[in-house]
Amino acid sequence: MAVNQSQLGQMFEQVLRLSKVDASQSVAILKSHYSDARTVQAATDAALRLGAKVYSVELPSFNHPTAMGNDMTAYCGDTALTGNSAAQKALEAADLIVDTMMLLHSPEQEQILKTGSRILLAVEPPEVLARMLPDEQDKTRVMAAAAVLEKARMMTVKSAAGSDFRAPLGQYPTVTEYGYADEPGRWDHWPSGFLFTWPNEEQAEGVLVLDVGDILLPFKTYTRERITLEIEKGFVTRIHGGFEAGYLRDYMAYFNDPEVYGISHIGWGLQPRAQWTAMGLHDKNDGMCMDARAFYGNFLFSTGPNTEVGGTRKTPCHMDIALRHCDVRVDDLLVVAEGAVVAPAASLAH
């Protein structure tokens, strides 16, 4: 079903209000030729209705020759903003930037956030934005989990498929995503609803097993067979299984960079309106597939870069992998049981 432009504008107004946009604020709309024109127009109109000072920054598209495919997460690090100091200064002057082109994992984004500017990424199709329109309950749910994860010193993950993974914590902060950017220097993504942190460097160990139906991003595929990842001292050391394991091995090897195998962020999904099944109803070029990253009770882990929290791995290959039916513990607290969120305050789910 299609969302009409009037509805999309009303939704943007709600999200911008949650992001504390008013007549005292300046709002920059960051766009490129591939940005969804409906999203750009709706964001602009909503900010104007709220009385904000609105301007656009349009950049040419950027494609690194190493990149494969059109997914915006398939190559990390360099963007159309890289080396464009004039455009960066224009963005740093805004109180809020609505990013419709994708700066994530770039040093330029991190510098912009350090100035106090807020960034709201919105690159999913309008129909996905509508289904996962954020509200204050989303923030309450995510922040309740963050209060637990921030204190944790160990995350363990087990599953009937064979996962048995442990990650000492504490070196890196907890990051939350609840769909709006309401504090200075905050980055968020509409739609979302999950949280994560990073293992201490070179300390994650064990086995993570992708079972049938788990999700590989940016491939945007459901696995049809099991894939086993063996992890030692924070790095994937072996990938084995059938055809799909071989495909994953060859894809990661293509980047010719040992840091692509590092375990990056780890966490769990907290968005009940996100659906494991949704990816199968969209074309692979439709946004980033945030449903897969945020669906309620997933265990989401990634490989590759960690520069967004001060790490040193600036590497272009970033895999997000969503597992179902896992048990996730932080210290001694079971937070996800066989893919169902059980703590904290599981009653906040709906």
> Quick one: pLDDT at residue 2?
86
Return the number of other C-beta atoms located less than 10 Å from residue 201's C-beta: 17
321 and 218 both lie in a single domain = yes
pLDDT band at 8 (very low <50, low <70, confident <90, very high): very high
Alpha carbon 72 to chain centroid distance?
Answer: 11
107 and 214 both lie in a single domain = no
* Strand spans (E) along 22-151: 26-31, 53-58, 96-99, 118-121
What are the Cα distances from residue 338, in Å, to 32, 96, 104, 327? 41, 39, 31, 5
Residue 266's DSSP bridge partners are: 197, 301
Of 91, 123, 155, the last residue of a domain is 123
Pick the closest to residue 187 from 137, 138, 140, 121 (CA basis). 121
176 and 323 both lie in a single domain = yes
Of 98, 123, 148, the last residue of a domain is 123
Out of 24-33, 101-110, 311-320, give the one with best mean pLDDT.
Answer: 24-33
Residue 26's DSSP bridge partners are: 53
Dihedral angle, C-alpha 123, 124, 130, 132, nearest 10 °: -100
113 and 148 both lie in a single domain = no
Q: What element of type H or E holds 254?
A: helix 243-254
Specify if 233 maps to a domain. yes
Specify if 128 maps to a domain. no
322 and 194 both lie in a single domain = yes
Please give the residue that has the higher pLDDT: either 80 or 121: 121
> Quick one: pLDDT at residue 347?
42
- Mean pLDDT (the chain) is 95
Of 123, 152, 173, the last residue of a domain is 123
For 31, the 3-state DSSP assignment is: strand
DSSP, res 212: T
39 and 139 both lie in a single domain = no
Q: How far apart are alpha carbons 290 and 211 in whole angstroms?
A: 20
290 and 322 both lie in a single domain = yes
The domain total for the chain is: 2
Q: Which CATH number goes with the domain that contains 101? A: 3.40.50.2300
Specify if 330 maps to a domain. yes
Q: How far apart are alpha carbons 55 and 94 in whole angstroms?
A: 9
Give the pLDDT confidence of 45-78 residue by residue, as tens digits.
999 999 999 999 999 988 778 888 777 787 887 8
For residue 174, the enclosing domain spans 133-349
Give the pLDDT confidence of 244-263 residue by residue, as tens digits.
999 999 999 999 999 999 99
Residue 102: phi, psi to the nearest 5?
Answer: 100, 100
Give the pLDDT confidence of 305-318 residue by residue, as tens digits.
988 888 888 899 99
175 and 28 both lie in a single domain = no
